[in-house]
Amino acid sequence: MDYFIELFFGGLTRGSIYALIALGYTMVYGIIGLINFAHGEIYMIGAFTSFIVATVLSIYGFPLLAIVVIAGLAAAVWSSAYGFTIEKLAYRPLRKAPRLAPLISAIGMSIFLQNYVLLAQTSDFLPFPALIPEFAFMEPVAHIVGSSDLVILVTTTLVMIALTCLIKYTKIGKAMRATAQDKTMAVLVGINVDRVISATFIIGSALAAIGGLLIASHIGQINFYIGFIAGIKAFTAAVLGGIGSIPGAVLGSLVLGLTESFATGYVSSDYEDVFAFSLLVLILIFKPSGLLGKAENKKV
């Protein structure tokens, strides 16, 4: 029974990280219909930035709490900057292009960023400092749920709530929803669509960066390649939940995280990724628009 609970929380943790990344995918897709292949690299850059900043600060002797906060902010700021720049350089010029052109551009950006970090930093696996200390009150359940898991779950929940409030109640949130539903009309009612799209990229990137920081601290190491597989999984989660739907992204991520956790725990860990993709294929066969996706009503 203990094992089950351990796997359950492990799955939730995984799912939370996927959710932070998947939100970026689903928001961008909802607004411009693009699969942002470079998003995984934004997550990786977030992890790297927080690693660099945290290590520098720890060498200079900053207290742990300050390091965590500053590193987190730095990761969010720089990842957002990268997201913003990528959109402007590689996607904005292709707004009116045939659908596949931005996709290839995104793939090219992904390859470029991976190698950029590889060359500018290193191909080695870098040890990430444990930024989340072991809490004393977690001691009795530490073998099932770690402090790190707890922090991840709490942080992700808080972030979700903040994002939901943003989308629902703020002006920019409304503008984002409007643009996602009908871009032409949004322009006609005076929404600055370019700014809305940039904002979407910025928010999505910041979320991914936080995810990068959390997972790096949780696992203890980073590498220039982590963006790729996390990106694909997170995108799978977003599609699973219904691409373009924010609650869908969260649901899909949790489902994916739990499935992976239980599958690797009870069946086999080698085929972890196979389970993820097989789950996707299965769900799409029975619900072609994803779990929470709206079935496309053909207006013929």
Partner 1 sequence: MAESPVILTVDSLSKKFGGVKAVDNVGLDIRQGEIVALIGPNGAGKTTFFNCLTGIYTPTSGDINLSDPETGKTTRLNGKKPNIITAIGMARTFQNIRLFPSMSVLENVMIGRHCRTKSLIFGAILRNKATRIEEKEIIADSYAILQKIGLHKQVNELAKNLSYGAQRRLEIGRALATEPFLLLLDEPAAGMNPNETETLVSLIRQICREGHSILLIEHDMKLVMSLSDRIFVMDYGKKIAQGTPEEVRANPEVIKAYLGEEVDA
Partner 2 sequence: MFPVKELKRSALISLWFAFLTFPIMVIKVDPIERLVNYRWDNMFFIAFGSFVLSILAKVFIIRKEKKEARKKPKAATEPFMQRVIREPRFLYPLSIACFVFGLSFPYLFSTYQTNIMTTALMYVVLGLGLNIVVGVAGLLDLGYVAFYAVGAYSYALLNFHFGLGFWVVLPIGGILAAFLGILLGFPVLRLRGDYLAIVTLGFGEIIRLILENWNTFSQGPSGVANIARPSFFGIDMSFAGGIIYIYYLVLLLVVFTIFVVNRLQNSRLGRAWLALREDEIACEAMGIDKTKTKLMAFSLGACWAGLVGVIFAAKTTFVNPASFTFLESAIILSIVVLGGMGSIIGVIMGALILILLPEYLRALSEYRMLAFGAILVIMMVFKPNGIISNVRRSYRFKKNVSTGGESNG
Residues that bind partner 2 (CB under 8 A): 29, 33, 35, 45, 48-49, 51-53, 55-56, 59, 74, 78, 81-82, 85, 89-90, 93-94, 97-105, 107-117, 119-121, 126-127, 129, 228, 232, 235-236, 239, 243, 270-271, 273-274, 276-278, 280-281, 284-285, 288-290, 296, 298, 300
Nearer residue to partner 1 within complex by CB, 96 or 143: 96
From the list partner 1, partner 2, none, which binds 114 (C-beta under 5 to 8 Å, kind-based)?
partner 2
- Give the orientation angle of helix 39-59 with respect to helix 64-86, to 10 degrees: 150
Closest separation between CB of residue 98 and partner 1, Å? Answer: 10
Give backbone dihedrals phi and psi of 260, rounded to 5 degrees, phi first: -60, -45
Q: How far is the CB of 295 from partner 1 (least distance, A)?
A: 11
Size of the site for partner 1 (CB under 8 A): 3
If the CB atoms of residues 69 and 295 are measured against partner 1, the closer one turns out to be 295
In the bound state with partner 2, the residue whose beta carbon lies nearer, of 56 and 167, is 56
Token pair listed for 280: 């996707």
Asked if 234 and 40 touch (Cβ cutoff 8 Å), the reply is: yes
Closest CA to 31 of 234, 241, 172: 172
Name the 3-class secondary structure at 126: strand
**Angle of helix 272-286 relative to helix 246-266, nearest 10 degrees?**
130
- What's the token pair of residue 55? 């290590």
Rounded to the nearest whole angstrom, what is the least distance from the CB of residue 104 to partner 2 in the complex?
A: 5
Please name the residues in contact with 32: beta carbons below 8 A apart, sequence gap of 6 or more.
91, 95, 197
> Nearest distance from residue 136's CB to partner 2, in Å?
27
Among 85, 89, 78, smallest CA distance to 45 is for 78
When binding is defined by CB under 8 A, the residue of 100, 188, 281, 300 that contacts partner 1 is: 300
Shortest Å distance, C-beta 82 to partner 1: 36
Q: How far is the CB of 145 from partner 2 (least distance, A)?
A: 28
The sign of the dihedral angle between the CA atoms of 227, 292, 281, 297 is negative
Comparing CB distances to partner 2, the nearer of 62 and 116 is 116
- Residue 195 or 294 with smaller CB distance to partner 1: 294
What is the number of other CB atoms lying within 10 angstroms of the CB of residue 110? 22
Question: Which CB atom, from 269 or from 297, has the smaller least distance to partner 1?
Answer: 297
Which among partner 1, partner 2, none contacts residue 297 (Cβ within 5 to 8 A by kind)?
Answer: partner 1
What count of Cα atoms within 13 Å lies in the side-chain half-sphere of residue 46?
36
Angle, CA 21 vertex, CA 236 and CA 113 arms, to 5°: 95
What part of residues 279-298 is at the interface with partner 1 (CB under 8 A)?
297-298
The smaller minimum CB distance to partner 1, of residues 188 and 300, is found at: 300
b/e for 46-63, b at 16 or more Cβ within 10 A?
bbbbbbbbbbebeeeebe
Nearest approach, Cβ of residue 210 and partner 1 (Å): 38
State the minimum distance, in angstroms, from the CB of residue 196 to partner 2.
Answer: 21
Site residues for partner 1 per CB under 8 A: 297-298, 300
